[in-house]
Structure 1
Amino acid sequence: MHSNIELIEAADGRSFQAYISKPARPNGHAVIVLQEIFGVTATIRQVADHYAEEGYLALAPDLFWRIEPGVELGHDKAGVARAFEYLQRFDELAGIEDIGRTVEHVRTMEGFHGRVAVIGLCMGGKLAYRAAAKLPIDAAVAFYGVGIEKNLDEAAALQCPLMLHYGDLDRYAPPEAVDLIEAALPAAPRAVLHRYPQADHGFYTRGAAQDADLAHARTQRFLVSVLGVDQ
Structure 2
Amino acid sequence: MGKKTIVSRDGFELGIYEAQPDGKPKGGIVVLQEIFGVNKHVREVVDEYAREGYVAIAPQIFDRVERDVELGYTEQPDFDKGLRIAFEDLQMEQTLQDIQASVNAIRNHGPVGVVGYCFGGLLTWLSACHLENVTAGSAYYGGGISGHATLVPKCPMIMHFGEKDAHIPMSDVEIIKQAQSDVDVFVYDADHGFNCGDRASYHAESAALAKRRTLEHFERNLT
Residue 184 of structure 2 corresponds to residue 192 of structure 1: yes
Residues in 2 aligned to 1:56 and 1:77: alpha-carbon distance in whole angstroms: 35
Residue 119 of structure 2 corresponds to residue 123 of structure 1: yes
2:187 partner amino acid: R
2:186 partner amino acid: H
TM-score, with length taken from structure 2: 0.93
The CA deviation string for residues 5-56 of structure 1, in whole angstroms up to 9 with x for no partner, is 1211112212011100111123330000000001000100000000000101
Match of 2:139 in 1: 142
Residue 15 of structure 2 corresponds to residue 20 of structure 1: no
Match of 1:81 in 2: 80
- Structure 2's unaligned 5+ residue stretches are none
1:55 partner amino acid: G
Aligned 8 A contact 2:26 2:222 in 1: no
Q: How many residues get paired?
A: 216
Match of 2:221 in 1: 226
Aligned 8 A contact 1:92 1:127 in 2: no
Match of 1:133 in 2: 129
Shift of 1:135: 1.3
Residues in 2 aligned to 1:171 and 1:59: alpha-carbon distance in whole angstroms: 30
Residues in 1 aligned to 2:100 and 2:94: alpha-carbon distance in whole angstroms: 10
Aligned 8 A contact 1:24 1:55 in 2: yes
Aligned ranges for residues 60-99 of structure 1 at < 5 Å?
60-75=58-73, 76-87=75-86, 88-99=88-99
Shift of 1:184: 0.8
TM-score, with length taken from structure 1: 0.90
Aligned mate of 1:152, from 149, 157, 160: 149
For residue 107 of structure 1, give the secondary structure of its aligned residue in structure 2.
Answer: helix
1:84 partner amino acid: L
Residues in 2 aligned to 1:93 and 1:26: alpha-carbon distance in whole angstroms: 34
Match of 2:196 in 1: 205
Shift of 1:153: 2.8
2:190 partner amino acid: A
More displaced stretch, 21-30 vs 130-139: 21-30
For residue 61 of structure 2, give the secondary structure of its aligned residue in structure 1.
Answer: coil
